[in-house]
Amino acid sequence: MKKNASYIVLYLILVVSALMAQPKQKAGISADETIQYLNKKFVGAIEIKNDRGDMIVDYFNKGKKIRRDVVAFEQLDPKSIAYLQDEKSFIIRCIADDCINRHIEFPKTHNYYARINFPYNGDSLSMKGIPKAFLHLLMLFQDPQYKSNTPFEK
């Protein structure tokens, strides 16, 4: 009887060890990884941060901060992500009116706007990857079930 119990325990140890040795599936590209990707694309001009569910976007000109936009990720419309060729900018519109809290450094002004823009004039691979990254980022905050490992530039 003790011999059978020993075999069962040994078997269970081997099965559990084998299961634990298998590589774990990645849960998906995180919000932090997505923001890092976007910041690399906009380096020097724009810096995006996540502050407890708020997107904070600082805009720079020659290293000096000129503007800050703040908006809750949940208030942006994922269907509105677009590139406007005439403005050479990616834009994302609000789900409701005027959700972007904008502070301009000089002259000191503060107002609310219905869209946020990200000036960009880069390579074609990035032009396809950036909107995918923005969509991924918004979905992470707006849909708790959403996960994706799909690379942005594929």
**Which pLDDT score, from 0 to 100, does residue 111 have?**
96
Answer whether residue 76 is part of any domain.
Answer: yes
Closest CA to 46 of 35, 60, 32, 33: 60
Q: Is residue 109 part of a domain?
A: yes
Predicted pLDDT of residue 18: 46
Residue 148 covered by a domain: no
Residue 91 included in any domain: yes
What pTM was estimated for this model as a whole? 0.81
Nearest to 71 by CA among 132, 113, 131, 29: 113
Is residue 152, in this structure, part of any structural domain at all? no
Q: DSSP secondary structure string, 34-103?
A: HHHHHHHHTTTTEEEEEETTEEEEEEEETTEEEEEEEEEGGGB-GGG-EEETTTTEEEEEBSSS--EEEE
pLDDT of residue 11: 52
pLDDT at 100: 97
The domain in which residue 41 lies consists of 31-142
Rounded distance between C-alpha atoms, residue 8 and residue 6, angstroms: 5
Number of domains forming the structure of the chain: 1
Give every residue of the chain whose pLDDT is below 50, as ranges. 10, 12, 14-26
Side-by-side strand order, sheet with 82-84: 82-84, 89-93, 115-119
Q: Find the CATH number of the domain harbouring 127.
A: 2.30.29
Residue 10 within a domain: no
Considering only CA atoms, which of 26, 34, 66, 46 is closest in space to residue 152?
A: 34
